[in-house]
Structure 1
Amino acid sequence: MRRNHVVVSGLSLAAALFGIGTVGAADLPKARVKWEKVKLVDNLNEGIDVVDVNRDGKLDIISGPQWFEAPKWTPHPVRDVGTNNKEFFENNGDHAIDLNGDGYPDIISASWFSENVYWYENPGKEGLTEGRKWKQHHIIDGQGTCEGTLLQDIDGDKVPELILNHWTAEKPMTIVRIKPGKNGAPPQFRKVEIGKPQTGHGIGVGDINGDRRPDLVLPGGWFEQPASDWTARPWTFHKHNGFKMDHSSLPCLVVDVNGDGKNDIIYGKAHDYGLFWTEQGPAKDGEPTWTQHDIDKSFSQVHCLVWTDLDGDGRKEIVTGKRYRAHGDGDPGAADPQCLMRFIWNPESKSFEKDVISYGEKIGSGMQIRVADLDGDNKLDLAVAGKSGTHLLFNRGPNK
């Protein structure tokens, strides 16, 4: 299996030739960080996670049908992943978690086209050595319009919940509470519908109203987490005041951008051009007010966002990119060059500054962007999987 290694200190030749979205390559800034890029496999898979699969102390990569063993990124089988329309792998996200308490990470995965959500059981030391496929187990059904999933702890019990997002607004907002097994015993799952159909493409998790409880942000509004036992009663739904996030990214980010003590919302248009932040202002009649600001409109299909500190300066920034051919030929800019970008908040200008991670190198963001120190050099690296393959991007420090 061929792996391509490229060290890029500025913009690639492809960027210089083709431009980006609605602007030319000359408008792109010089990259602030040097990245070494490694291609692991060329397929349509768009889900990925980073975890120590075999408990050897090294972080490995799980990407749909395979896992890649560090440090040489040797491929091993995980499961069979079907295809749909020769355009999609039936995997809209990989989430690593030890579900049966045997010490080995398992995988949760859903699909756009399946009614079912499954988990895949890590076969353990012997099975991994022998190259066995991971056993499939059912979690829930009735999820045939699932756009994607998040695995995030919303109640502070140190066990994450599985949060399902549907592209149709006709599905109830559903969260799966997970009770992991112990010593190899199977986990238990409880499906909780927290509210009437108010879903739609895109979701984020964070505290909107300042009560220190994570809420759920959706295109048309947000679900307020109750003060006690979030599973016992419906969550209150609040419509957005003055804006709507049509076909927003998954996830969107709920963070305090400008340091005023109130969380704002950062989102992209997952099937159009544009990345935005929506500033939370003073409440009016008990509801937040919002002011929308443009961040960047030069690339399309901004499907996934991450809030992280890649340069180690103590300040987090946006990392995102283009999900290539998210709807085949159906989206604006579907065939534009792929890219990964970083956006850094400047408190003086009160705006975001763009930094190029990759452009024109056929590296996109897919459904998930994973951030971890993959090679133990104390710098955060990136792992992405999209329709142009699975890639690792190693952070080699400032681009001087």
Structure 2
Amino acid sequence: MVAVGPSFVPDVTFTGSSLTGWHTVGNAKWTAENGEIVGKPTAASGGWLVLDESYQDVGVYVEYRCTGGCQAGVLFRETKGDAGMKGTFVDLSDPQITTYSVTLGADGAITSRNKARRGGGLVRFTPPPDPNAPVRNYRPRPTAAGLPLTPPDTSLKAGEWNTAEMFMDANVVRTFLNDGREHGAVSDETYGPFALYVGGTGEVRFKNVKYKDLSIKFRQPDKTSPNFRRQILTDFFYSFSVAAADFNHDGVEDIVSGPFIYYGPDYTRSEEIYPAEAFNQTSGFPGDAWIQSAADFTGDGWPDIISTNYGSLGVTLYVNPGADKHRRWDKFQVVKEVQSEVAMLRDVDGDGKPEIVYMGGGQVRYAKPDPANPTGSWIIKNVSEPGYGTAHGIGVGDINGDGRMDILNAYGWWEGPKDPAHDTWKYHPVAFGRYGRGIMGGAVMGVYDVNGDGLPDVVTALNAHGWGLAWFEQKRDAQGNITFVRHMISDDLNTKAENAGGVVFSEPHASGFADVNGDGIPDFIVGKRYLSHVNTFLDPDSFGQPVLYVYKTVRDPKAPGGARFVPELIDNESGAGSEVLSVDLNHDGAVDIVTPTRFGTIVFWGKPGAEEKH
């Protein structure tokens, strides 16, 4: 099996050897033994084990093994039809995990099955079919050969144990086989129990059967760490991005998040740089505000803003009008295409000016203004060969200690060359990410000495739309060859022993690093992007609490690798977007944290003296 355990906290887990609370229909014998449900067909048409309780929206997780020519599946929303029963049937014996609308005869036999229309994806409700809609043929970008991180085999394993996680919600059923990609289909919006199925010959065994009423949501009472003061800049969803600079030259740091600059020192006065339009918190994405960075890109002495956006929007430059006040800023598209949902502004070529590091065209890249024409197309440098670009995970730091910046992503790191004009840097393969539901790679990756041995390590989320935080301990052999050992910080709901402080959350799509507790060692700041793929069950635990944490780096010779990470909750009603900004905005000696989220943009002011309490 690829993954064990559900991505949700179940209401019910089947245990024991009794089928109380279930009833049978059709031609099959059902028994329970030591937490396993066993079904054996007594005729090829098979039969059903039906839950007595009904649900409209429900999440179901099973581990199952079908042997001896059996057929297995799960029926959702069983209701009475004209001549028997009907419902939505997920065929777990089909390698394609096809979903059908089925009718059942009085004897439980399937009398008709019609393949359900494809549904799901980035919508909760699949709309009616549009006969004029263009045909979309998704073709993933080709990847390089010999990568250290490759998609696991999530296909159906005949005769072996498999996992299936299914979410029946609204008019969509989503099935994830062996923690692979979504198999989505449209369902009638009816109400009824779900049922396990066995047919054909042989037997099916289900174990770790867990389910949850998806109509019930939980939110904890608001909580903010006493070491921080919470200030809401806006409670509208404008942005996943944030940056800081003194935009009006008054000597005070300002904040930009989406269409607004919030002027310091109190950040209660704001001004548009482009026309503001808020997005739907549950179904929208922030348009031209995925990643924002601030620097003087035009050379006129005023800090400008770039917005690096996933897809064809590319990189947009907003030029600071300087002394020309009371106006929005002119904008220019300076990079046409961006593949990544994360980017970093760093000086990677040693010229004293920052470049934007991102992925594009299947390659790791950075871009910089053309000094002769900074509002025209920027100069693009390819760091990697084609096939190494990822959507998630970017880091910049000196891995090998040669004084030059190296660039990282989920596939490893690229060594900064002596000649900054050199294309395609030397590649070092390392799996700095982990696959889940077809996605891998984290957010901003930190490079610093975690355990105090003098070697830079790597700290990162493993999957921005899934689970996992880890640090990678750098090792060197006698010849100076560099390898890394992974140490988990937090894993998933089913690995309590590996979750530091008992803390676990999914969708860690934004992260940053700063010395929050004043011990001279960077700490790991990371937040959950709530409803990252909108209000669907496309991502694991997408409706989980929108938390923001700082994981304090503690050097401990008794811990694996010589260090451990201690979580402190900053806030549980914010989370993060694509960026977490950590900076001492008011120069009081305490790190302040700004997070742009679906709930607005929020500042958490560090309290001077609180370092001793962290």
Q: Would you say same fold, with TM above 0.5? A: yes
Instruction: Report the CA distance between 1:76 and its aligned residue.
Output: 0.7
Separation in structure 1 between the aligned mates of residue 372 and residue 606 of structure 2, nearest angstrom: 37
State yes or no: 1:332 paired with 2:540. Answer: yes
Distance 1:61-1:278 versus aligned 2 partners, 3 A rule: same
Other-structure match for 2:484: 290
Other-structure match for 2:419: 228
CA contact (8 A) 1:203 1:219 kept: yes
Letter in 1 for 2:300: D
1:161-201 Cα offsets, whole Å, 9 max, x none, are 111135xxx6122211335579xx85873111122121212
CA contact (8 A) 2:333 2:377 kept: no
CA contact (8 A) 2:242 2:291 kept: yes
Separation in structure 2 between the aligned mates of residue 163 and residue 98 of structure 1, nearest angstrom: 16
State yes or no: 1:255 paired with 2:452. Answer: no
Other-structure match for 1:314: 520
Aligned residues: 363
Instruction: Report the CA distance between 1:287 and its aligned residue.
Output: 4.5
Separation in structure 1 between the aligned mates of residue 274 and residue 477 of structure 2, nearest angstrom: 49
Q: 1:343 aligns with which of 530, 551, 554?
A: 551
Instruction: Report the CA distance between 1:71 and its aligned residue.
Output: 2.9
Letter in 1 for 2:476: P
SS at 1:310's partner residue? coil
Distance 1:207-1:19 versus aligned 2 partners, 3 A rule: same
SS at 1:344's partner residue? strand
Separation in structure 2 between the aligned mates of residue 277 and residue 317 of structure 1, nearest angstrom: 12
Unaligned runs of 5+ in 2: 1-217, 492-503
Separation in structure 1 between the aligned mates of residue 432 and residue 352 of structure 2, nearest angstrom: 33
Separation in structure 1 between the aligned mates of residue 517 and residue 383 of structure 2, nearest angstrom: 38
Other-structure match for 1:68: 262
1:134-160 Cα offsets, whole Å, 9 max, x none, are 1011212133x3323211011332101
SS at 2:324's partner residue? helix
CA contact (8 A) 1:98 1:180 kept: no
CA contact (8 A) 1:100 1:187 kept: no
Other-structure match for 1:377: 588
Unaligned runs of 5+ in 1: 1-16
Other-structure match for 2:571: 358
CA contact (8 A) 1:52 1:59 kept: yes
Other-structure match for 2:407: 216
1:356-386 Cα offsets, whole Å, 9 max, x none, are 1112x2x112111112222342322111111
1:245-280 Cα offsets, whole Å, 9 max, x none, are 442222111211111122211111211122111111
SS at 1:228's partner residue? coil
SS at 1:148's partner residue? coil
Distance 1:357-1:243 versus aligned 2 partners, 3 A rule: closer
Q: 2:367 aligns with which of 176, 179, 183?
A: 176
Instruction: Report the CA distance between 1:204 and its aligned residue.
Output: 0.7
CA contact (8 A) 1:343 1:352 kept: yes
Other-structure match for 2:427: 237
Distance 1:36-1:214 versus aligned 2 partners, 3 A rule: same
Other-structure match for 2:356: 162
Letter in 2 for 1:307: F
Instruction: Report the CA distance between 1:338 and its aligned residue.
Output: 0.9
Other-structure match for 2:292: 94
Distance 1:319-1:243 versus aligned 2 partners, 3 A rule: closer
1:193-237 Cα offsets, whole Å, 9 max, x none, are 1221212121111122332222111112221222223x2332122
Distance 1:326-1:381 versus aligned 2 partners, 3 A rule: same
Moved more, 388-397 or 201-210: 201-210
Structure 2 length as normaliser, TM-score?
0.55
CA contact (8 A) 2:238 2:259 kept: no
% of aligned pairs identical?
29
Separation in structure 2 between the aligned mates of residue 377 and residue 285 of structure 1, nearest angstrom: 46
Separation in structure 1 between the aligned mates of residue 551 and residue 598 of structure 2, nearest angstrom: 23
Separation in structure 2 between the aligned mates of residue 243 and residue 137 of structure 1, nearest angstrom: 34
Instruction: Report the CA distance between 1:282 and its aligned residue.
Output: 2.5
Structure with larger Rg: 2
Letter in 1 for 2:419: S
1:276-301 Cα offsets, whole Å, 9 max, x none, are 11111234987422211111230111
Distance 1:378-1:52 versus aligned 2 partners, 3 A rule: same
State yes or no: 1:139 paired with 2:334. Answer: yes
SS at 1:248's partner residue? coil
Separation in structure 1 between the aligned mates of residue 297 and residue 554 of structure 2, nearest angstrom: 41
Q: 1:203 aligns with which of 394, 399, 404?
A: 394
Distance 1:75-1:272 versus aligned 2 partners, 3 A rule: same
Separation in structure 2 between the aligned mates of residue 87 and residue 19 of structure 1, nearest angstrom: 24
CA contact (8 A) 1:99 1:181 kept: no
SS at 2:483's partner residue? strand
Separation in structure 2 between the aligned mates of residue 267 and residue 98 of structure 1, nearest angstrom: 29
SS at 1:88's partner residue? coil
CA contact (8 A) 1:180 1:188 kept: no
Other-structure match for 1:118: 316
Distance 1:34-1:181 versus aligned 2 partners, 3 A rule: farther
Separation in structure 2 between the aligned mates of residue 345 and residue 376 of structure 1, nearest angstrom: 23
SS at 1:89's partner residue? coil
Distance 1:286-1:140 versus aligned 2 partners, 3 A rule: same
Structure 1 length as normaliser, TM-score?
0.82
Other-structure match for 2:598: 387
SS at 2:317's partner residue? strand
Instruction: Report the CA distance between 1:395 and its aligned residue.
Output: 1.1
Separation in structure 2 between the aligned mates of residue 187 and residue 133 of structure 1, nearest angstrom: 19
SS at 1:260's partner residue? coil
CA contact (8 A) 1:339 1:364 kept: yes
Root mean square deviation of aligned Cα: 2.8
Distance 1:218-1:283 versus aligned 2 partners, 3 A rule: farther
State yes or no: 1:305 paired with 2:511. Answer: yes
Other-structure match for 1:150: 344
Separation in structure 1 between the aligned mates of residue 425 and residue 521 of structure 2, nearest angstrom: 33
1:53-104 Cα offsets, whole Å, 9 max, x none, are 1111111110111111123421211114676994101121111111222222
Distance 1:256-1:315 versus aligned 2 partners, 3 A rule: closer
Distance 1:259-1:180 versus aligned 2 partners, 3 A rule: farther
Separation in structure 2 between the aligned mates of residue 110 and residue 88 of structure 1, nearest angstrom: 14
SS at 1:375's partner residue? coil
Letter in 1 for 2:453: D
Separation in structure 2 between the aligned mates of residue 261 and residue 376 of structure 1, nearest angstrom: 29
Q: 2:469 aligns with which of 275, 287, 299?
A: 275
Instruction: Report the CA distance between 1:315 and its aligned residue.
Output: 2.5
CA contact (8 A) 2:584 2:591 kept: yes
CA contact (8 A) 1:270 1:302 kept: yes
